[in-house]
Structure 1
Amino acid sequence: MSAKYTSFGVGFSETTNSTLAGVEATKQALSKAGLSPQEAQLCFLFCTSRHDAESFFEGVKSCVGRETQFFGGYSNGSCTNTELGYDGYQVVVGILSKGDYKFDLILKEGIGFHEYEIGKELGQEIQKKDLGRNAQMFLLFDAVNRLEGRFRMNYGTPFIKGMSESITEWPNIIGARMLGDMKFKPTHQWCGREMSKNAAMALLFHGNIQIDSQIMHGCQPASAYHQVTAVKGANILELDNQPALDVVGEILGSDLIERPQELKFFVTLGKNVGDKWKPYSPGDYINRMCVGVDTVGKGLYMAEMDIEPGMEVQLMRRSFEMEYVSIRTKKLIERVKSNNRRIIFGLYINCSGRAAAYSNQTDEDVRYVQSAIDGEFPLLGIYEAGELAMIKDQLQVLDWTGLFCIFSEKITND
C-alpha cells in the first residue's frame, strides 16, 4: 500500500484470558494493517463485561508503542469482516496508522446523575477545539449508572442538551451509548492512555478524514397515535389518560400483560418528528425502547426521558428486512467511492437488541453488512445500548437501529 494512504487493521478474539485476548486481537490488527507497534497512531478497543478491563487494556498496550492513543470501552459483542459474537468473551481492536489528519481526545468523568452537566462541560471543551466544516466526531458515553446499586440508565437526552448549549454548530458526528452486557453491569472506558468509568468522551478528527453514515431503521408503526398524558422522568405513566401498561395490554394482549417483565426490551414507542399525515417514512421516527416496568404505577420505563406530556406516540413493531440492510450498506459504499474517496474502514454500531437472540430474528443483520462489504475494506463492529446520529439537524440517541459508518480519505494524485 502507498505510504500516502492511511492504514487500518482489525483484530478479534474470544479467548477467556483477558490479557491474552488483548494481545491476540492487537497483534491481528497490526498484522492486517501492515504496521509495526510504533506505527500505531490510534487504537480502538472494545470488550464485553466478562473480561477484566485492566488486564485486557494491559494486553493491548503491551503490543503497541508508548505514544499510541486509545479510544473505546465496553460493548455487548463485536464483529469484523468475518467474525461475529455477543454475550461472551468477544473483544475487538482496530489500529489506525498515521495519516494526513490530526485528532483530539476529550474525556469527562461523572456522568451518572449528571448527564446535563457533563454534556455541557464536554461541549465546552470540544468548542475550544478546531470545529471547522471538516471536523468529524466519534462520541461515546457510559450507559450504566450503578452508583446507588440498582441499575439506572444514563440518559442521552439531557447529555445532548448540555452539549448543544456549549457547541455553536455540531460537527459531523456519530456515536454510541456503551454497555458490556444485557444485565447492565458497570462499564469501563479508555481514552488517551488512561482507563476510566462513568464517563463521556469524544474523538475529534481534523484533516483528510471524513465520516459518512447510514441509519438502519428497525421499527414500523403497529398502532394508532396515543397521547402521552402523564410522565415522571423516564417513566410513562399514562397514555390517553389511562395507565400506560393497560393501553399497551389492550394492543398486545392480556396474556403478555400478565407477565409484565417480558415487556422489557420488547415494547418500543415511536415519535414521529415528520408530518403525521404523510406516508410512513422510517427516517422521521425516533424510537424509544422500554427498559423496565413499573408494576405498581402501571408505567413503562423508557431508555430515554424525552417523551413528554402532550406528545403523541405509536407502539412500534420491530421489523427489518435483511436485504434492506444489505442495500443501504452498498449504497453508502458507492456514494463514498463516487466522491473520489478511499475507504479506510467501516464501523457498524448495532443496537444490542437487534441481535438475533433478542429480536426473534432467524439471522444476524451484521452478516448482511459483512456480505455487502465483501472484504473490500476492514470492518469493526460493536453492540451497544443506543446509537448517536443526526435526525433533522439534531443529534439523537436512537433505539433499535444499526448505524453503518465509513471513515474515508480523499484520493490525491501526488
Structure 2
Amino acid sequence: MRVGVGYSDNPDSAAAGAQAVRQALDQAGLDGCDLVLLFSTSRHDPQALRRAVAAAAGPRARIAGGWAVGALTNWDLGYAGDQVGLAVFRFDTTACDIVAEGDLAQGEEPVGRRIGEALAEAGVAADSPVLLLYDTVDRTRGAMRMLMATPLLAGIESALGGLPDVVGAGLAGDMLGTPGWQWTGDGLAERQALALLFSGGVRMDSVIMHGCQPCTGYYTVTRADAQTILEIDGRPALDVIGDIFAGAIAPEDYGFFLTLGVNMGDRWGDFDESAYVNRMCLKVDHKRGGLVMFEPDMVAGTRFQIMHRSLNLDYIAPRIEGLFRKLEGRRPVFALYIDCAGRAAGFAGIDAEDAAEVQRVVGDRVPLLGLYTGVEVGAVLGRPRALDWTGVFCLFSV
C-alpha cells in the first residue's frame, strides 16, 4: 500500500484538483492510483473538481470523500477558503471497499442498517478499519437540520450485532450550513453516508484529543426532547447554566462554546481524557428554556460536567507518539487527522492551531491528510461514538 497527499488553495476547481493530485502522485512515486480520498470546501464546483481529479489520477481511480470546512497535509493547512486536500492510494495485497448509502434525510438509522448489511457482505470483522463519512446538513424541509452520527452508528450496530473499528467525520463544507456534496466512489451525491472498509492486512490505530477538562461537579439531565436538553436537576436547563456562569456569558453565546462532558469511565477516579464524550451546544431554545446539542444522546439520566477548553497544546504530542510506539514492527503508511472545525484558531478565537501541532509531531514520517469537520467519530473506551470539539488522529499501518 503506497500513499501520497496533495493540497491546493487555487480558486479554480479544475486547476486545484489537478495540482493536488500531481503533488500526491509525485510524493508516492506513482503514475496513477486506485483510490483518491478527496475533501474540499464548499467554494469548489464538485463536478469540475471530480473531473479534474479523475483525469489526473488515472482510469482505475475511485474517488471518495466530500466537502469539508478546510484541509491540511504535512506542509499545508487552511480553512474557510478554497482548500482542497486529498490522498492517493495504490493497493497491492491490500484493498478498500466503498459502501455508499442515502438518503440520510429520510432517517439516519435505516441508512446505518443498510451500511451495516453491506459491510457484512464485504466481510467486515470486529477489528476491520472503517472510515465513515456522512453529510451533516439537511435543508430538504426548509430550515437547516443537523444529520446525526449517533443513530447512524446505532443502525450499523443493529445490522452487525456490534461495531467494527470505526472512525469518521460529519462533513460540512462551511460554517454556514450550506448543503454538501459527497464523492461516492464512482459518482456524486447529496445527503449520503460512505463507509470505506480497508482490508488485506491494514491496521488502523487511533486516539482522541479533546484538550478539555471538567471545571464543575456532576449535573444530571432530567428531561430532554431529541437533541434538546430541557431540564437539568429538575430545573430549566438555561436557568441552571445561567446560574453556573453567573451572567458572565450570555445564552446567545452558548452555541459552539458551551461544551458538556460525559464521563464513560470511573466517575470518581483520576481524570482520563480518553474516557470522555464531549457534547457541544449548537444553539439555545429560548421558548422552552433548553440547550440544543449536536447529538440526541443526552437523554434523561445522563450525568455530565461543564468542560473547560485548554489553550495549551502539550497534550497532543504524547498521544500521537503513543500510536507510533504501538506499531510493533509494522510499517506506517498514512495518517488521517479528523479535526472539529470549532477547534481551528480562526473560529475558536485563539492563536495556536492544534492541527499545526499535529503537523509538527508527525513531521515527514508518514503522509498526513486532515480535514475540518462538523462532527467527529472516534473510540471512547473501545467503542466508536459521535464526538464534538475533538481531534481524532488515525495511523494506518501494514
Same fold (TM over 0.5): yes
- Describe the superposition over 1:4-36 as per-residue Cα deviations: whole angstroms up to 9, x where unpaired: xx2211110111111111111111111111111
Asked if the contact 1:139/1:173 (under 8 Å) is kept, the reply is: yes
Pair 1:215 & 2:208 matched:
yes
Partner of 2:270: 279
Pair 1:349 & 2:342 matched:
no
**What's the offset of the Cα at 1:113?**
4.2
Q: Secondary structure at the match of 1:366?
A: helix
Q: Secondary structure at the match of 2:159?
A: coil
- Describe the superposition over 1:254-296 as per-residue Cα deviations: whole angstroms up to 9, x where unpaired: 2522xx3221100011111122121221122111011111111
Deviates more, 1:125-134 or 1:234-243: 125-134
Structure 2 Cα separation of the partners of residues 230 and 262 of structure 1: 23
Structure 1 Cα separation of the partners of residues 210 and 44 of structure 2: 31
- Moved >3 Å (runs of 4+): none
Asked if the contact 2:211/2:313 (under 8 Å) is kept, the reply is: no
Pair 1:299 & 2:290 matched:
yes
Q: Secondary structure at the match of 1:274?
A: coil
1:42-191, aligned counterparts within 5 Å?
42-132=35-125, 135-191=128-184
Structure 1 Cα separation of the partners of residues 124 and 86 of structure 2: 28
Asked if the contact 1:107/1:201 (under 8 Å) is kept, the reply is: yes
Pair 1:28 & 2:23 matched:
yes
Pair 1:331 & 2:331 matched:
no
Asked if the contact 1:289/1:302 (under 8 Å) is kept, the reply is: yes
**What's the offset of the Cα at 1:371?**
1.0
**What's the offset of the Cα at 1:110?**
0.7
Asked if the contact 1:134/1:206 (under 8 Å) is kept, the reply is: no
Asked if the contact 2:284/2:291 (under 8 Å) is kept, the reply is: yes
**TM-score, normalising length: structure 1:** 0.93
Partner of 1:11: 6
Partner of 1:235: 228
- Describe the superposition over 1:196-253 as per-residue Cα deviations: whole angstroms up to 9, x where unpaired: 1101111111112111111112211122211112211101111112211111111123
Asked if the contact 1:235/1:300 (under 8 Å) is kept, the reply is: yes
Match of 2:281 among 272, 275, 290: 290
Match of 1:402 among 377, 383, 391: 391
Asked if the contact 1:127/1:168 (under 8 Å) is kept, the reply is: no
**What's the offset of the Cα at 1:384?**
0.6
Match of 1:383 among 369, 372, 377: 372
Structure 1 Cα separation of the partners of residues 302 and 106 of structure 2: 25
Structure 2 Cα separation of the partners of residues 273 and 309 of structure 1: 16
Q: Secondary structure at the match of 1:237?
A: strand
Structure 1 Cα separation of the partners of residues 227 and 117 of structure 2: 27
Pair 1:361 & 2:350 matched:
yes
- Describe the superposition over 1:132-190 as per-residue Cα deviations: whole angstroms up to 9, x where unpaired: 45522111111111111211111111111111100134322211111111112111111
Taking only the aligned residue pairs, the percentage that are identical comes to: 37
Q: Secondary structure at the match of 1:256?
A: coil
Asked if the contact 2:211/2:315 (under 8 Å) is kept, the reply is: no
Alignment gaps of 5+ in structure 1: 1-5, 410-414
Structure 1 Cα separation of the partners of residues 92 and 27 of structure 2: 17
Structure 2 Cα separation of the partners of residues 395 and 109 of structure 1: 21
Q: How many residues align?
A: 398
Structure 1 Cα separation of the partners of residues 71 and 45 of structure 2: 17
Structure 1 Cα separation of the partners of residues 49 and 260 of structure 2: 37
Q: Secondary structure at the match of 1:305?
A: coil
Q: Secondary structure at the match of 1:71?
A: strand
Asked if the contact 2:37/2:63 (under 8 Å) is kept, the reply is: yes
Structure 2 Cα separation of the partners of residues 247 and 18 of structure 1: 48
Q: Secondary structure at the match of 2:49?
A: helix
Structure 2 Cα separation of the partners of residues 151 and 113 of structure 1: 14
Q: Secondary structure at the match of 1:228?
A: strand
AA paired with 1:265?
F
